[in-house]
Amino acid sequence: MGCCDDKKKRPENADEVRRLVSEGYARVARDSDSSCCGGGAATAEDVSRLIGYSDEELAELPEGANLGLGCGNPTAIDSLAPGETVIDLGAGAGIDAFLAAKQVGARGRVIGIDMTDDMLERARANALAVGAENVEFRKGLIEELPVDDDCADVIISNCVINLSPEKPKVFAEAFRVLRPGGRLMVSDVVLERPLPEAVLQSVDAYVGCVGGASLRADYLAAIENAGFTDVRVLTESSFGDKVCASDSPLQDAIKEFGANIEEVREFLPHVSSLGIVAIKPAD
Ligand SMILES: C[S@@+](CC[C@H](N)C(=O)[O-])C[C@H]1O[C@@H](n2cnc3c(N)ncnc32)[C@H](O)[C@@H]1O
């Protein structure tokens, strides 16, 4: 696969973690056959069907917008209305931004944020190829959104916040940029039990959306602590089922950090993908 072959131990420093994550996804963006989150030999379309995209949705996407990197379908967790402004945290090559753009229509707009230049390049080329005028892609960190206060109706995100070394900051930023009454609609990976130590140390496991994941209760509490109310899990499925213990991203933990393959296999069913909604209270 070649998307996550840095054998370094996971660093403590948040900027260094982001640099390694960005390097991993730059490689994915340059090699369109790679699939990091959810890994394995399946095609991007196979992965996407498994995690909740319909054939119709997949057919309407610009070619190359779907890299098979998600863990759910955030625009299907709840509805988007025509005219709404949507921000996609960690937009990648644009899959969910394009689906959201269709739902909000010409009066609405979608802003995809990503820190990785190669991803932004792909996403912008995809927008240009299909003449999508209500979608733009901005460079930035999800911990420091390049967006004004109170400007969005909806924040979506797909398999990205688990990659942040500063998750409370991400939810605080989501809260800041949503208008009062605005909604969070997020697909993400959470853990039902703590990670085995060797998986925790592996950069590949982190970049592959397992090593950085929080325990379910901690993740939901972080959303509430940012000020959101009505935090609800509307969809859930096993993410671990889609990750093979003998494939990247967990190979590194097994080979380099001595994880026991049986222990990793036993652990994978305890990795879940959730579809979460929450509300920024109206003033
Ligand atoms: C697993 S991919 C998901 C991409 C897209 N949401 C999808 O479902 O195809 C993670 C994306 O988030 C971006 N990303 C990760 N951490 C980020 C951060 N802290 N700030 C901005 N972008 C980030 C990566 O560059 C990458 O494009």
Would residue 96 count as lying in a domain? Answer: yes
Q: Determine, yes or no, domain membership for 3.
A: no
Exposed e or buried b per residue across 13-48, where buried means at least 16 C-beta atoms within 10 angstroms of its C-beta: eeeebbebbbbbbbbbbeeeebbbbbbbebebeebb
Unique residue bearing structure tokens 């070649």: 2
Q: What is the pLDDT along the chain (283 residues), one digit of tens a residue?
A: 334 444 578 899 999 999 999 999 999 999 865 444 544 557 888 889 989 999 999 999 999 999 999 999 999 999 999 999 999 999 999 999 999 999 999 999 999 999 999 999 999 999 999 999 999 999 999 999 999 999 999 999 999 999 999 999 999 999 999 999 999 999 999 999 999 888 888 898 999 999 999 999 999 999 999 999 999 999 999 887 776 555 667 777 777 777 788 888 888 889 999 999 999 999 7
Decide whether any atom of ligand 1 lies within 6 Å of the 170 Cβ: no
Ligand 1 within 6 A of CB of 51: no
Question: Atom 5 (ligand 1): residue with closest C-alpha?
Answer: 92
Residue 269 lies in a domain: yes
User: Is any ligand 1 atom within 6 A of the Cβ of residue 116?
Assistant: yes
Question: Ligand 1 mean position to 91 CA, how many Å?
Answer: 6
Q: Is 62 in the pocket of ligand 1 (CB under 6 A)?
A: no
**Paired tokens of 27:** 């490689």
> Given this model, what pLDDT does residue 70 score?
94
CA distances from 208 to 20, 26, 176, 213, 247 (A): 11, 13, 28, 10, 11
Whole-number pLDDT of residue 41? 53
Tell me if 164 CB under 6 Å of ligand 1.
yes
Which is the closest atom of ligand 1 to the Cα of 114?
22
Tell me the per-residue pLDDT of 80-91, one tens digit each, with 9 for 90 and over: 999 999 999 999
93 located within any domain:
yes
Domain that holds residue 166: 14-279
Residues 101, 156: Cα–Cα separation, whole Å: 12
Torsion sign (Cα): 26, 112, 64, 129: negative
pTM: 0.94
Domain count, the chain: 1
Is 89 contained in some domain?
Answer: yes
Distance from the alpha carbon of residue 191 to the mean position of ligand 1, in angstroms: 19
Which domain CATH number covers 33? Answer: 3.40.50.150
pLDDT number for residue 3: 42
Residue 6, in any domain of the structure: no
Give a yes or no: residue 104 inside a domain.
Answer: yes
Report the nearest atom of ligand 1 relative to the CA of 166: 19
Residue 191 within a domain:
yes
